[in-house]
Chains A and B, each alone.
Chain A
Amino acid sequence: MSTCQEIQELIPTFVLDAMTDAERAQIEQHLPRCADCAQRVAEYRPIADLLAFAAPPVEPSPELKYRVLSATMPKQIARAPRPTFDLQSLIANLFRAPAFAAATLVLVVALAIWNFALQNQVNQQAGLSREVTREIEHQREFLNIVAYTDGQPRRMIATDAAPKAVGRLYAATELNSFALVVYDLPTLDANRAYQLWLIDPNGDRTSGGTFTVDHEGTGWLIIHASQPLKSYQGVGITVEPRGGSSKPTGARVLATSLRD
């Protein structure tokens, strides 16, 4: 039987979980019977808790949020409704609303005219912002693929040509579209691009598309293939001329086998 003094000497390391199973069991048996020692644990526990904040701050990758959210609420993410705006039905509902009064009519009509004018401006802007819209759609598709991904993303292995590179493939079991995210790939000159290759069971390579990386080496690509990722034997990424090649010609920077 340990005395309180012996137990209390162990408590600072008990909260760090740095003792043997036997020592821990000794304390855990003692605590329910001793308010003083339990109080001492309560005093030291916040010190151990605070140590978590001593870890140097590091940012997780942006897509981790979508992995976490898709793992905890996939339906809400995948089926999040897009905001829509239907002015006619809004006005019709307003007229039916019990609170609607004649005095409000002037305001509603003024708002409607203003809104039609705005809508017109938006339509004109739409022509100019088609590029942006395409990019947003592209990103939305990427996020949906990440959200639907089964389990963990598949990691690609860096080669000596880019030893620090990180590559992850996101794919759902039955979908023919999958997403690639890369970090720390070398930045290429304007005449070259990275090209992803899908390797079928015969060893034939099909291009999955080309991409470039930003100045930090980060890039991403959505691959629209003819079959799900699991149908392929492997995936590789090589350096190719800007427009892409019909078969791999440059140095391979990332690769993964899909057969394990």
Chain B
Amino acid sequence: MSATFSDEQLVDALTRGESWVMAALYDRYARLVFSLAYKILNDRNIAEDAVQEVFVKVWRRARDYSPERGKFSSWLTGIAHHHAIDELRRRRVRPIASEDETAALEIPDSAPAPLDLAIQSLERRRITTALGAIPHDQRRAIEMAYFDGLTQQEIADQLREPLGTIKTRMRLGMQKLKLLLEDAH
């Protein structure tokens, strides 16, 4: 049912106190938010707690969302990312990223998916294709910043590379990602 409503319509209904909206938003975005939280926190229990907190924040702060400032999914994943990184920095459950750790739990992209999941699957394909097209060192620096919540200095320390090298890798990597994603649009 929720696929027939846009995100903006759902948030608008949420601000009017419509009780069914949280279930619709959850159905649409829980897997995305949980996948992000799990990738960052690397613990199912902690990630599920984070997802609960994120949706409570969305419920409480729905009026703060403005469609003029970006897509709802960006606003939601922004909240989820900040929350998970804050939690990670508090707990420091894991010092460094690992690319294959969730393989056993992954849901294949080819699995049948409703429209909402299909849209997210396309977005996933866009970004993973672009990430796959940039040099590995640049990708690694970007992923360590985004998924491990590390500063450039912390990344340089972990990789035993000069800070300037990490700064250059991240800048060049992001510039290439931007070009690749613009081309793919």
Contacts and interface: CB of A to CB of B under 8 A. Distances in A.
A15 B81 CA distance: 12
Nearest to A14: B174
Contacts of A49: 70-71, 73-74, 77-78
B155 A65 contact: no
Contacts of B94: none
Interface residues of B, number: 67
Nearest to A70: B52
Interface string A53-66: 11111111100110
A252 interface: no
A16 interface: yes
A51 B36 CA distance: 9
B44 A166 contact: yes
B31 A60 contact: yes
Contacts of B13: none
A50 B181 contact: yes
Secondary structure call for the A interface: helix
B22 A18 contact: no
Interface string B18-29: 010011001100
B107 A12 contact: no
Nearest to B141: A18
A61 B74 contact: no
A69 B145 contact: no
A49 B181 CA distance: 12
A141 B168 CA distance: 57
B61 to A, nearest CB: 12
Interface string B145-185: 11101111101000000000001001101110110010000
Interface in A1-57: 9, 12-13, 15-20, 43-57
B88 interface: no
Given A18-B152, A44-B174, A47-B174, A57 B30 contact: no
A47 to B, nearest CB: 5
A84 interface: no
A3 B151 CA distance: 23
B77 A52 contact: yes
Closest 10 CB pairs of A and B: A12-B174, A18-B145, A52-B77, A55-B39, A49-B74, A60-B34, A53-B123, A72-B59, A55-B35, A53-B124
Interface of B: 19, 22-23, 26-27, 30-32, 34-36, 38-40, 44-45, 47-49, 51-52, 55-56, 59, 70-71, 73-74, 77-78, 80-81, 85, 102-103, 105-107, 109, 120-121, 123-124, 126-128, 131, 142-143, 145-147, 149-153, 155, 167, 170-171, 173-175, 177-178, 181
Given A16-B145, A49-B78, A71-B55, 6 more contacts: A18-B152, A55-B39, A56-B103, A60-B47, A61-B44, A69-B22
29 contacts: A12-B170, A12-B171, A12-B173, A12-B175, A13-B145, A16-B146, A44-B174, A46-B181, A47-B177, A50-B123, A51-B127, A54-B124, A54-B127, A56-B35, A56-B39, A56-B106, A57-B109, A58-B39, A59-B105, A60-B31, A60-B51, A64-B34, A64-B51, A64-B52, A65-B23, A65-B30, A68-B51, A71-B52, A72-B55
